[in-house]
Each structure stands twice: as C-alpha cells, then as structure tokens.
Amino acid sequence: MKSFSALLALLTLAIAGPVAQYGREQVPMEIPTSLPGFSLDIDLSEMRLVELEGQAPVWMSELDKIQLKAKDIKFLDITDAQDLGRTERLRTLVSYPSPSATEKVKPILKTLSTKGPRENLEKFTSFPTRYYRSDITAETASKALRKLISVNEFPHSWGQNSIIVRINGSSTTDDGIVVISAHQDSTNMFPWLSAPGADDDGSGTVTILEAYRALIAAEFKPERAVEFHWYSAEEGGLLGSQAVAQAYEKRSANIIGMSQFDMTAWVKRGTREEVGIITDNVDTDLTNFNKELVDTYLDIPYVETKCGYACSDQLKSSFGNSNKNIHSANDRIDISDEFSFSHMLEFSKLAVAFAVELGGWTE
C-alpha cells in the first residue's frame, strides 16, 4: 500500500464465551460501484466473529461491521485472535518509578520540532484513504536503518502490515520491552469514501515518529528494548494490535509498559490545552506513571478522560473536546486552526519521556 510504504519511508528517513448469530436485518445501504481513486479488496458477506460491550461474541458480516462503525458502535473483531488472553503464565510485577532521568530527557525535548510532523502528515494524508483493505499499492521503501535499529513488518492476511521498530536494549538480564504505539490506518464511516485521517490517527502516527527521530538523533541506547509500533486495521476492530499482542503472548514477551497515542492534534476552540489520559480499561499504576511524566516534562496539564469499550487509546485529547471530523473526508490538517502541531509536540515529549524513563539509558 502507498500509505504503508510511505510510513516505512518516513521511518528510514528519520476471553472465551458463547457464540451467537448476529441479527440479519440490515439498514438499507447502496454500495457504490465506482470509488474515488482506489478499490477495496473486501467481501461484504464474509462472516466475522465480533464482540460488543457486555455481549457474547456474535457472527456478523463485513457489511454488518461497516454499519456498526457508521453508527459509532465500538467492537472487537476477534475472529483471528480468539485465544488472546487465555495463556496462563507468571507475570513480572512491574513497579513504575517516579521520573528520575530529567538530565537525559530534557535535552532531547529541546530537539523536537513541528516541522517534521507537519511534512510527514502532509504526505501521510495525501492518499485518498489508508483503509486496511484498500488496494493502493507502491514499491516498499528499501533504505536500511542504523545498525542499532531493526525494522519488522508484521504481516497480516489483509495486506496492510503493521510496522515494528525496535531499539535494542543493552541488558543481558532484563528482557523487558517498552512499547510506544499508534495506528496507521484510517477510515470513513463507509470505507469506500475518502478518509485522509489527519487526526485519527495520522496525528498519533507522526507524533511517535518525531519522538523516535529525536531519540535516534540523541544516540539513545536503552537498557531495555524500546519498540515503536504502528498498527494496521485498528478501524476494522483492533485487528492489527490484536494480532501483534497474540504473537507476543505466545512467545511470553515481557511487556513492561505500553502507551498508545491517538488523535493528538486537536485543541477545541475556547478550551484549555491539555493531555487526555485514559482511566478506564487500563493499568492504574502505569496511568499514574504517565501522569507524573506529564507533570514533569510537559508544558500543559493532564485531564482524566474515558475511552469506553474496544478502545485502543491511552493518550489523546480529552474525549469531550475531541475532533468531530474523524471518520470523514474532513479529517484534514487544514480543516480548522483547532488542528495544532504544537499540541502534537507535547505528546512527542511524552513519548520521549516514556521511552527513556522506562527503557533506561546505557552510558
């Protein structure tokens, strides 16, 4: 996909339950035969196992899923990840320290810029869509990253791969992994319509990309491995992140902490600029750690907010003041002066601090 290849190019530059059947009544929908510059590799009658909040998993078609998305009903597509969360193993009890690496973090924060994120997001939103089942294709970027870095394309059956960039840790005794993530795909309420996805989640994508760039420029050598993840197919029911989580679970990966960045650009007119920290369906200790990072390193305060069921977000603008243009052709950089690259920069600071404070630094 062009958008997937573009992201690679930017990188080189810088639970069991009963199963029911979903009701077959459908809202009338006229499916277009011509599409704006792309086509979809999707069988609308394909059956998928979907989980909705407070309900047993149900079988429904891809068209049913699209209708749920159009109604803003959140769901998980667990068809390919039905065993996720079933593995029983002893987990390392993680204690999150108070921020103590200010001498390392603050100089890096001074190198962060809005220039790179703006240029990258202009490129990333130039595609008519980043929908995970569209057929926009191009050559994959082939430039090598620095020897310290390994890049892995995590393949998926739908064609749009997730991307994992790993900064290897120096420790021979600590196998912990720190994860910083965003989702690379976009969608309209109906996937055959234009979906530039500037805020959802182009903003999170380039936010953590800028953090990654600054860390590499600072010759960051962590004690623990630090990984940057760009997930595919979030809009299809968290498909990409579930697949990665399932693979990590199978190999008993020791995830120390993870922060997901989503919709980091919007500051509603007349409101206070702030970082929304999700407090539902998250680890309380890790959430408190992120609050401390905001207090220590950012120029704006945090506010507690909630995300609801089947939500990947952990760090974003507060939900009550979030961008209402998402999942539409108007999710663009130029739609309003409420779209703020300086606001995104605050989230890049948070990503840098998260990486250094949890990953450590090898002298």
| pLDDT tens-digit map of 197-213 | 999 999 999 999 999 99
pLDDT of 255 reads: 96
What does the block give as tokens for 230? Answer: 């760009």
Structure-token match 């310290």, residue found: 148
Domain assignment present for residue 87? The answer is no
Find the angle CA(246)-CA(250)-CA(251) to the nearest 5 degrees.
120
Q: What is the number of structural domains in the chain?
A: 2
Please say whether the beta carbons of 273 and 343 come within 8 A.
Answer: yes
Question: Alpha-carbon distance 282 to 112, whole Å?
Answer: 28
Whether residues 29 and 127 share a domain: the answer is no
Whether residues 73 and 104 share a domain: the answer is no
| Conformation bin of residue 270: beta by default, left when phi > 0, alpha when psi is -120 to 50 | left
Find the angle CA(252)-CA(354)-CA(88) to the nearest 5 degrees.
20
Whether residues 46 and 128 share a domain: the answer is no
| pLDDT tens-digit map of 125-171 | 988 888 998 876 433 333 323 334 567 889 999 988 899 999 999 99
Say whether 110 sits in a helix, a strand or coil.
coil
CATH of the domain at 159: 3.40.630.10
Domain assignment present for residue 83? The answer is no
Quick one: pLDDT band at residue 25, thresholds 50, 70, 90?
very low
Whether residues 30 and 71 share a domain: the answer is yes
Whether residues 39 and 166 share a domain: the answer is no
| pLDDT tens-digit map of 342-359 | 999 999 999 999 999 999
Whether residues 24 and 125 share a domain: the answer is no
CB-side exposure of 309: number of CA atoms within 13 Å?
Answer: 12
Domain assignment present for residue 92? The answer is no
Domain of residue 183, residue span: 2-14+97-359
Question: Alpha-carbon distance 219 to 274, whole Å?
Answer: 30
**Whether pTM exceeds 0.85:** yes
Whether residues 37 and 171 share a domain: the answer is no
Domain assignment present for residue 89? The answer is no
Whether residues 196 and 220 share a domain: the answer is yes
Structure-token match 């970082």, residue found: 275
Question: Alpha-carbon distance 296 to 350, whole Å?
Answer: 10
Question: Alpha-carbon distance 198 to 267, whole Å?
Answer: 14
Sign of CA dihedral 152, 224, 317, 73: positive
Name the E strands within 261-316: 275-278, 302-305, 315-316
Whether residues 27 and 59 share a domain: the answer is yes
Domain assignment present for residue 262? The answer is yes
Structure-token match 């409101």, residue found: 271
Whether residues 193 and 64 share a domain: the answer is no
76 pLDDT more than 90: yes
Name the E strands within the chain: 20-21, 47-52, 58-61, 75-77, 149-154, 162-167, 176-183, 225-231, 254-260, 275-278, 302-305, 315-316
Choose between 84 and 169: higher pLDDT.
169
Domain assignment present for residue 84? The answer is no
What does the block give as tokens for 297? Answer: 């390193």
Domain assignment present for residue 352? The answer is yes
| pLDDT tens-digit map of 162-172 | 999 999 999 99
> Looking at residues 265-284, what average pLDDT do you find?
93
Whether residues 56 and 10 share a domain: the answer is no
pLDDT of 75 reads: 95
Domain assignment present for residue 73? The answer is yes
277 pLDDT more than 60: yes
Mean pLDDT of the chain: 86
Whether residues 171 and 220 share a domain: the answer is yes
